[in-house]
Amino acid sequence: MSYDVIIIGGGFAGMSAALQLARARRPILVVDAGLPRNRFAAASHGFLGQDGAAPAAIMREALRQLSAYPTVNFVHVKAVSAAGELDRFEVALENGEVHAARRLVLTTGVADTLPDIPGLAERWGQSVMHCPYCHGYEVRDRRIGVLANHPMASHQALMLPDWGPTTFFTQGMVPVDAELAAKLEARGVTVETMAIVEVLGEGLAISGVRLADGRIAPLEAIFTVPKTAPVSPLAAQLGCAFEDGMTGPHVKLEAGQLTTTPGVYSAGDAASPMHNATLASAAGVMAGIGAHQSLIF
């Protein structure tokens, strides 16, 4: 079947793009495999009007609202390949279906790679988190650790004392020179150069971390920024250019969320160095508007 726009990815960015196009009465298809990046988080915070709501509940309501528009179609399956050019794109799905569209909006997201430390990955999205603005308030006044996973980790360590007493675990990755040491001291951050080798605690809670020298440092929450990579190969298949961000590559954008491939738009975590539900939704709005206006002008 042929559509004006196929949106690949049904998260905050994709559904926001779909809403703009639905209200413009354009025939669109939303393709979603049902594995959002935020599936590990029990609640979404900092999103106006939805603070504290479960991401899955937000998406169910978005699906309900979008389903009321007669030009919107959904398929809950993985998109495996995409090819073509402006006005003549084809998207192949895992179930064997092939759909055509004049424009594409890629909101496929990223995959996270955490440091290989026992006890860390299973607590991801619960007591191990990445964004102080998304989760800092919920661990306020608790003992917080910042686990270095990239050279800019000290930035996070300098932020987190606004939420609780903070220890910066450099993991041998971030050299603390005199200037940085002074900044950390001014913020009340404790610096620990001995590496974390295990995260401890009952269930998904954290009680502390074991260090390489055998010591146990009491902690109740850990913030770390994972390395990220596009979860889908579609942007690369379509020839979209990428650029390096702080945590990994993301799709390079021009005005209106347009990629370097004519007719292909992108939004969300796969197209931004900054990852946040509100930012993803706003970018999705822009991608939907950009795709719609390109069909007119």
Closest CA to 26 of 240, 236, 289: 289
Q: How many CB atoms lie within 10 A of CB 174?
A: 21
Report the distance separating Cα 99 and Cα 82, nearest Å: 10
Q: Measured at the alpha carbon of residue 123, what is the angle toward residues 120 and 126, in degrees to the nearest 5?
A: 140
Per-residue pLDDT of the chain (297 residues; tens, 9 = 90+): 799 999 999 999 999 999 999 999 999 999 999 988 888 888 888 888 999 999 999 999 999 999 999 999 999 999 999 999 999 999 999 999 999 999 999 999 999 999 999 999 999 999 999 999 999 999 999 999 999 998 889 999 999 999 999 999 999 999 999 999 999 999 999 999 999 999 999 999 999 999 999 999 999 999 999 999 999 999 999 999 999 998 999 999 999 999 999 999 999 999 999 999 999 999 999 999 999 999 999
CB 102 within 8 A of CB 181: no
Question: Which ranges of 202-276 would DSSP assign to H, the alpha helix?
Answer: 234-237
Query: pTM for the full model?
Result: 0.94
Report the distance separating Cα 259 and Cα 294, nearest Å: 13
Give the chain's domains with CATH numbers: 2-112+227-296 (3.50.50.60), 115-223 (3.50.50.60)
Q: Which strands make up the sheet holding 216-218, listed edge to edge?
A: 196-200, 208-211, 216-218
Helix (H, G, I), strand (E, B) or coil at 141: coil
